[in-house]
């Protein structure tokens, strides 16, 4: 079963894999991929993994019941919407359309704030 401890370990592992794969390796096919897609794919996944670690760290301090509610009520709709918005995000060439990295950063901040507010509200709700 998926719980908050496994989610924390998975998010730390994903961040380390992203860092090791794109930060420390010198393979030619990884370098060419990073050079071609750094603005659209690599940066977006890097920020997503960083915000995933922040969210999982926040959820470590709350109960397993709140984590399950968070998965069911927040992630079930926020994740597909975020993926869609990042996918259709602009290329950043014009002033009106931010690039995919900006969308990933903004959506990551929104997820962290929504998670913190949701977890605190649920904690006080279940204390009664």
For the cut 90, the answer to whether the pLDDT of residue 113 exceeds it is yes
pLDDT in tens, 5-17: 898 999 999 888 8
Dist. CA 76–CA 87, nearest whole Å: 18
Dist. CA 56–CA 67, nearest whole Å: 9
Across 98-119, average pLDDT: 89
**Residue 125 host element (H or E):** helix 100-127
- Asked if 103 contacts 83 with a C-beta cutoff of 8 angstroms, the reply is no
pLDDT in tens, 58-105: 999 998 999 999 989 998 898 889 888 888 877 666 677 778 888 888
Q: Where are the domains of the chain?
A: 4-127
pLDDT in tens, 37-67: 665 666 777 888 888 899 999 999 998 999 9
Dist. CA 98–CA 127, nearest whole Å: 42
Cα 108 to Cα 48, 79, 128: the distances in Å are 6, 10, 31
DSSP assignment of 64-104 equals HHHHHHHIIIIIHHHHHHHHHHHHS-B-S-SSSS-BHHHHH
How much is the pLDDT for 82? 87
Mean per-residue pLDDT over the chain, rounded: 82
Band (pLDDT 50/70/90 cuts) for residue 120 is very high
């Amino acid at each position: 079963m998926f719980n908050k401890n496994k989610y924390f370990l998975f998010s730390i592992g994903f961040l380390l894999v992203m860092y090791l794969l794109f930060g420390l390796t010198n393979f030619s096919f990884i370098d060419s991929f990073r050079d071609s897609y750094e603005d659209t794919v690599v940066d977006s996944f890097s920020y997503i993994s960083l915000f995933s670690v922040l969210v999982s760290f926040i959820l470590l301090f709350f109960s397993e019941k709140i984590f399950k509610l968070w998965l069911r009520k927040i992630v079930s709709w926020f994740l597909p919407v975020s993926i869609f918005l990042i996918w259709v995000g602009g290329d950043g060439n014009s002033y009106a359309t931010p690039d995919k990295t900006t969308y990933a950063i903004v959506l990551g901040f929104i997820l962290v704030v929504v998670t913190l507010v949701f977890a605190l509200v649920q904690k006080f709700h279940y204390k009664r």
